[in-house]
Amino acid sequence: MRTTVETIQQKIEELRKTLEYHSDRYYNQDNPEISDYEYDQMMLELKSLEKEHPELITPESPTQHVGGTAKREAGVLVKHRVPMLSLADVFSREEVDAFVQDMQAQFGNPEFVVETKIDGLSMALRYTDGVLTTAITRGDGIIQGEDVTENARVIKDVKTRLKHPIPYLEIRGEVYMTDAAFEKVNEKQELLGKKLFANPRNCAAGTLRQLDSRITKERELSLFVFNIQETQGREFTTHTEGYEYLKSNGIRVIDHYKVCRTADEVWNAIEEIGSMRGELGYDIDGAVVKLNSLAQRAIVGATSKVPRWAVAYKYPPEEKESVLLDIELSVGRTGRITPTAVFEPVRLCGTSVSRATLHNQDFIDDLDICIGDTIVVYKSGEIIPKIRAVKKEKRPQGAKRFRIPDVCPVCGAPAVREKDTADIRCTGSNCPAQLERHIINFVGRDAMDIKGFGANYIIELVRLGYLKNVADIFSLKEHREELIEQGIIGKEKNTDKLLKAIEDAKANQPDRLLTGLGIQGVGKATARSLMSHFGTIEKLAGASQEELESVSDIGSISAEAIRSYFAEPDNRRLLEKLRDAGVNMEAEQEEAGTVFAGKTFVVTGTLPTMGRSEAVSLIQKLGGKAAGSVSKKTSYVLAGENAGSKLTKAQQLGIPVIDEAEFLEMAAAENQGK
């Protein structure tokens, strides 16, 4: 018996540890690794074990507390006036009926409201005399959350002033992102070469916590209000009466809700919501069943974790079998080659689907997928089609495993797998699929820094044939009249302003040009080192493998990438065109400082006044080296707010940790010594 109890306790501890990890990924990092369904199943298993062995329940168990931990990323912390609790999840009609019957046993014939459960981030809004004063996230759900007032003000569904004010009103809603807004954000992320968001919920959560409200406004968040938390100066008797008051103030409440009295009516409303999941235009992760009477809610009360007057029904993931017809390859603007499964159409969550991403070769290998296989398709978050498994027992004879070819499907250039990643990328510098992204990188702040040259202009200029490579940028002045006439950049003033910025960029130091060329492994710091060593682009272009490897921080792989780039005839012709346009290719030799000579710094976290790139530039200017990871060779770690694992490792290794003030004091010694 003792062995059995020890085994159960070990299982409980493993489940708690796993759930805490995934809860942190979901609430605090906005980057979940597993689906809600998988998380819910583990939580159910833990609850079942704890119910059988209540002596093993601890206050720290995930079953005993709510959500995430509050962070300071988006502002100061604010105390909750009313706890922002989570809901008890149920997964079957039997559990829904049991909840309805329990409420009926207490109140006779109570009313229930069944409404959509939006998959987003909870936020409370506080109004004093009808004016929005504070917006707060759930945070830890009990004590405090993050102040996100400035970001809330730019969400279109948030009303900053009420038409029918009362002395105090606190409401709770769900911040979310529509499918259309999410696709728009990810298109821009890909265009800028940034990491794509996994799903709308992650994107909405990260956006609400942004320190810059302009980003929040640009990403077009939405809000549904689903509860009145607290009032002063007016009382409501029912949930739906509260909704009518909110709607009279222009506040957007849950779109789909229905008042029910019987268990059958409640279940029919849940099924009705379930049938429309694929047609809503935004993600839901269930249906909420709640008492309509606020007085009855007060009688029922809540536990430390959930209200007793409501439950959330979670829909099971819908899965269907289909036959894989083909695997298509596409090339993104970063050159990444993405395989997409094309299969016989099936209906999932109310919509027909016939395509799903296969991500990369590793994903294909893990699935062991072949064209002609019978596959299991489901919708992640009720929106994104995904392939869960292959029915290998139905595999046709002679089926072959799919391999992404080693040439680009668009331009035919070599396709290579990036070191330490699963990504396979096209190496062709003039690949049409990459051109827009390449030019955006070229004109960006870290490269040629041509101010005012927005992505929208570039996309249009590429589409119309004005830009076929980065050198064409410097020929745009020859098309001034056409550009003004077509209004691509704007009217005369805007066009001339951009053309002047392009002309001024010709005088940039060549390390900026080198960064903009997009050679694999050559970022700002490497470009600066290379130009400091070789002096001119021409000398760099003619350097041997050995000469390249003699430069600090240039290894054999980077050296080979640089040598291969300049060996390509198309790239040599591009450089010639840039030179003919008057773009500077010769570095000014400036005397480097020495105060940081022989020292290696790692910069981590958010500094009070400096950007990380600014700190790295100063380190290099004063003769030091900036590294990306902490090791025994690190001299100092320059740490700001939210420094994270690099700070921890520095402390473990005994590496000196300095703040921005100490860093600037050390840098000032350069001038003092002169």
609 by Cβ neighbours in 10 Å (0-12 / 13-18 / 19+) ranks as: exposed
Annotated binding residue 314? yes
Please provide the DSSP assignment of 494-509 as one string.
HHHHHHHHHHHHTTS-
DSSP tag of 521: T
Annotated binding residue 87? yes
| 539 is annotated as an active-site residue | no
Which among 391, 351, 346, 345 has a CA at the least distance from the CA of 372?
391
Task: Give Dmax (Cα) for the chain.
Answer: 89
Annotated binding residue 24? no
CA atoms within 13 A on the CB side of 59: 1
CA atoms within 13 A on the CB side of 606: 7
Distance CA 674, CA 670 (A): 7
Residue 576 tokens read as: 């010639």
Annotated binding residue 349? no
Annotated binding residue 203? no
Distance CA 581, CA 290 (A): 69
Q: Which residues contact 553 (CB under 8 A, 6 or more apart)?
A: 525, 526, 529, 625
Angle in degrees, CA 301, 303, 309, rounded to 5:
45
Q: Give the helix/strand (H/E) hosting 299.
A: helix 294-300
434-to-13, 319, 337, 386, 467 alpha-carbon distances in Å: 49, 35, 11, 26, 12
Length of the chain, please? 674
Beta bridge partners of 347: 352
Annotated binding residue 570? no
Annotated binding residue 260? no
Annotated binding residue 431? yes
Beta bridge partners of 417: 424
Annotated binding residue 138? yes
Q: The sheet that has 88-90: what strands, in order across it?
A: 88-90, 310-313, 284-291, 112-118, 257-260
487-to-100, 471, 497 alpha-carbon distances in Å: 63, 22, 14
**Active-site position among 117, 159, 305, 625:** 117
Annotated binding residue 411? yes
Distance CA 16, CA 23 (A): 10
Q: CB–CB of 311/96 below 8 Å?
A: yes
> How close are the terminal C-alpha atoms of the chain, in Å?
79
H helix runs in 375-488, sequence order: 432-443, 455-463, 480-486
Distance CA 303, CA 261 (A): 25
Instruction: Please list the active-site residues.
Output: 117
Q: What are the binding residues for NAD(+)?
A: 36-40, 86-87, 115, 138, 174, 290, 314
- Binding-site members for Zn(2+) are 408, 411, 426, 431
Annotated binding site: 36-40, 86-87, 115, 138, 174, 290, 314, 408, 411, 426, 431
